[in-house]
Structure 1
Amino acid sequence: MADSSAVHWHPSAAYLYVLHLDGPELAWEYLRRNPEYHRAWQRHRRQPQHEALLWGLRLLEDPMRDARDAHPDWFPDPSSVVQVYPDADPTADALLFELWRFPGRKHLMHDGKRLVLTTQLVGRMLRMAISPALEDGMAYVYAVRAGCQLRERWRAIEAELAMFDAAKVNCTAITTGRPGRTSMLHMRTLQALDGTLAGASQRGVAEVLFGITAVTERWYDDGDLRAQVRRLIRRGQTLTGGGYRRLLQLGRAAQGR
């Protein structure tokens, strides 16, 4: 995160957590680096509902919290949010809703109309919007928003639902896969963006990301290394300036856009 320090963005290890973030978490990482958002937070931190909709939020969130600690309440809901309702026609073997039996680290928030549950398990995130009519011990159903991308929305959450249900019912061991190329790109983009916000030159950013030796050998006006750094910075600025909203849709499938 950009601050008065000249070197806070140098250690690449400080960005490793980015490799395991999903779309909504990445969206927050970019939004919280927007200087205008910082000013909005300073103006309205005591009344966080003010101006929140301008940023795609129901309530403003503290930009000093990274995605590991923040719980931004996005509006509209990201496509990965699962709606949970009472089952109006339950079968005899229907599963019963038991809030505290969902595995993982949980965070609860009431947005004024419903309870929002965020559960994290081994690097995976499941977000549920729980109907006020649903109580513990009731049969329940999952729902996703209708529309032309219904199949894509369902695929975005199907793996998470299966993982959490398996862990809850069978105590299945869950492991995470290796980060993909898109995740690596986000990590470098955020580091390059932080360097720019801290006042570093493009060459200075390149030295941190690729090493002084590589820059000494490959840094020239029309070189590929210089072009790569420019693209990283431009991509970060685009995502920070509003492009982060695209990351809220279709979960991990949208991360590379």
Structure 2
Amino acid sequence: MDAAQWAWEFLRRNPDYQRDWQWFQQRWQALESRYGKPPERDFQRWQHDPDAWVQVDDDTGECRVDEDKVLIECWLGAKWGFYKFPLDPATEQPCIGEQLTWRETEQPVARVQDDDAVYLAGDAAHIALGFDLDLPLRRQLEAARHYLQVRQARLRRSGEVVMRTVGNLAGHWCCLLRMLDGVDGGESPDAVYAVLAAGCAEEQFTGTGSDLLAEARQLVEGGYREIVRLPG
């Protein structure tokens, strides 16, 4: 699977998304019973039915019926970070670009404050550089880029840093999904953890079953959007 499909695997397990989709599906079927399906659909009447839209407060958004009204299919996609028609959570490995397209997310910038020891503590992949904002940035950025490339290469050679790529993380994500499915099936986190630790020799497990479950739930609850940005 590629990054977009891995992200979907976590979103489809989100209970809130599952409830939203059920709500959406019930409305959609009711609208189709009233106004038909393409090409016979009466879209003019459809879009003015209160079941076809939701009210929003923000000034941006697609598929607006009025200034503060957005069609439910667009509202649901914007809420969960994708374009295209909302997918049934039961869908496995959707065709990316046809069934599902993820919205772009902004790359966060970690601004390190004077007392921000948490960001730099204990993680070789984290580094802070200083810049003089009263001087031109171009040469400073070029020097920083060169320094970071050299340091990254050295840390990769020494094994202190492993690149966050789909290829490197796929095995771990598979274990996280198995944790979610096991707990959803009634097993305890520690029981699932014991099975995973015994059956995944390539994975180095640390912490507890609850720790692994918390990591999995973080991806389900929004972290899946970060997966989309990762290289293969």
Higher helix share: 2
TM-score by length of 1: 0.41
Higher strand share: 1
